[in-house]
A and B are shown apart, each in its own frame.
Chain A
Amino acid sequence: MRTYQKIGEKDTRSGFGEALLELGRNNTNIVALCADLTGSLKMDAFVKEFPERFFQVGIAEANMIGIAAGLTIGGKIPFTGTFANFSTGRVYDQIRQCVAYSNKNVKICASHAGITLGEDGATHQIMEDIGLMKMLPNMVVINPCDFNQTKAATMAIAEHVGPVYLRFGRPKVPVFIPEDEPFVIGKALQLTEGKDVSIFATGHLVWKALEAVHILKEKGIAAELINIHTIKPLDNEAILNSVAKTHCVVTAEEHMMNGGLGDSIAQLLARKLPTPLEMVAVDDHFGESGTPEELMTKFGLDTVNVVEAVMKVIGRK
């Protein structure tokens, strides 16, 4: 199988911006909306090339979601852009009624997700968004791990008919998924093979988990790392097949334990294949100001935390 290694460093949001521009060129029904954060969302190129298909709504996220839902009537495919906090928690009822329940073809694209938003602090660092969005029927939830995967995911969601929540981040992080890696919604991507433990990781934690796999290898532990970019629908088959082989699980994500990827996998395993499981995630705590790296360390979302969780869960086998 393929070897995944660092090929550069870029922010995931730039992957979104590049793909949006490409989509705009390919399909005249693609429209974009933003609530006063075009620069942060990397939507500038789209705005410049397709001003008639871009809607600046100002600092009014509820209105943005409502307008996006309305735009689908007439065949448009709206991509909304703002920070993850304002994309979800702030507009939950609007998404619930007009996007999810009404089953509209709206793509809610959320940048600056999680704690790596950094210095702005807890008001802006949402770590509940995956949970909020995955609870909504009809909603697809995707959390890509690097620039290339975010770009591929953005292209893929335009083809999917129905509501999607696409979550990405602010900082520059390693690029390690090759440009030509196919992205299939709901299909997990296996990054390493192993028999001793299954690590299921999403978003920025995938790279951390890949680093952990190398450290574990030196300790004689063969870890199977599977990138779950689509939290909903979950790739049950890939998860169960891997766990049937390894008999223990670590999940890793930049999100609360409550409501996150680990919670989805624990629920699946409890019903289908009860297995020892440890979670690398934030344990019921708001974030705070700091650099992304400092915060990942303080909140236990680093490579070392994945390694420790693996050692612990292997001991529980």
Chain B
Amino acid sequence: MLTNDYLKNIATQVRRDLLRMIHAVNSGHPGGSLGCTDVITCLYFSAMEHHSKFNMDGNDEDIFFLSNGHLSAAWYSVLARSGYFPVSELASFRKLNTRLQGHPTPAEHLPGVRMASGSLGQGMSNAIGTALAKKLNKDTHLVYSLHGDGELQEGQIWEAIMYAAAKKVDNLISIIDCNGKQIDGPVEEVLSLGDLPAKFKAFGWKVLEMNGNNIPEVIDMLKIAKANTCKGQPIVILMKTEMGFGVDFMMGTHKWHGVAPNDQQLADALAQLPVTLGDY
């Protein structure tokens, strides 16, 4: 089991990776990626049982779906740092002929990616499907999905939320990144989600909440979530994060949702994130 300090070091390196990747091609989504770096790191390096020797069917391992596919840079870095593919390949992000497409896809056969995402609102349905397959296969491993809060404005998500509770898909842990921001501004202003915990509860989910930028808390809450699986209810973790977390000038604004840092901004950002595992 990795210590919290070591997990923090991995997360710092992942933040460096994703900023450098996005800067190199002057495109990508740093804000949400930085905010979700801690939870994706904790999933792959602590909570999930998974094999870096990739197998599409994923039998006898936990499976993760990134429904908010624009956080690809963070996920790719975590996958590479977990051993799914060489860390050096991160340099190909969003470039011609890359396996690291702008949004994740299995079409280019990147180990670790099982489903395309990017068009929002679809990953929970996919996660439910795989959770059902696991039940049929008598595979007791779990399925995790990550979603943005703005993504919950998509109608299909609510079809999935209704289904998972009604059909007792209790081997599923969905995590909602509640950073309160989307492209056009605060979620509250664009289209308020209302009382999200009450909504999930009313649909029949077990609702947990955590600060997604506090690694010890994330580790603990993922354990609690796991302990609550297989009890007849799907589990949602409403995860408070700060968009742009780890880089002071990227925090507290929605402006870094889909904008790459320039040379100076990258230098300023990296100065706040010391090299830990070594840059790609």
Report A's interface with B, CB cutoff 8 A.
31, 52-53, 55, 57-58, 60, 62-76, 78, 93-94, 96-98, 101-104
Contact = CB atoms under 8 A, between A and B. Distances in A.
Nearest to B155: A62
Contact of A74 (B123, B130, B155): B130
B162 A60 contact: yes
Given A31-B136, A68-B129, A74 B58 contact: yes
Nearest to B131: A70
Nearest to A55: B132
A60 B130 contact: no
A66 B160 contact: yes
B125 interface: yes
B130 A102 contact: no
B130 A63 contact: no
A58 B125 CA distance: 13
A66 B57 CA distance: 16
B122 interface: yes
Given A31-B136, A76-B136, A102-B115, 6 more contacts: A57-B163, A60-B156, A70-B126, A74-B59, A98-B122, A102-B105
Contacts of B129: 66-73, 78
Contact of A98 (B63, B115, B133, B159): B115
B139 interface: yes
B122 to A, nearest CB: 5
B136 A67 contact: no
Contacts, number: 118
B50 to A, nearest CB: 13
- Is chain A's interface secondary structure helix, strand, loop, or mixed overall? helix
Interface string B105-125: 111000000111111001111
Contacts of B127: 70
Contacts of A72: 129, 133
Nearest to A102: B116
A163 to B, nearest CB: 12
24 contacts: A31-B136, A57-B159, A60-B156, A62-B125, A66-B122, A66-B125, A66-B160, A67-B125, A67-B128, A70-B125, A70-B131, A70-B133, A71-B129, A71-B133, A73-B58, A73-B63, A73-B114, A74-B136, A76-B136, A97-B122, A98-B122, A98-B126, A101-B107, A102-B107
Contact of A67 (B106, B126, B134): B126
Given A57-B163, A71-B133, A62 B115 contact: no
Contacts of B155: 62
Contact of A70 (B118, B119, B128, B162): B128
Interface centre among B117, B129, B133 (most CB of A within 10 A): B129
A75 B160 contact: no
Interface centre among B107, B115, B139 (most CB of A within 10 A): B115
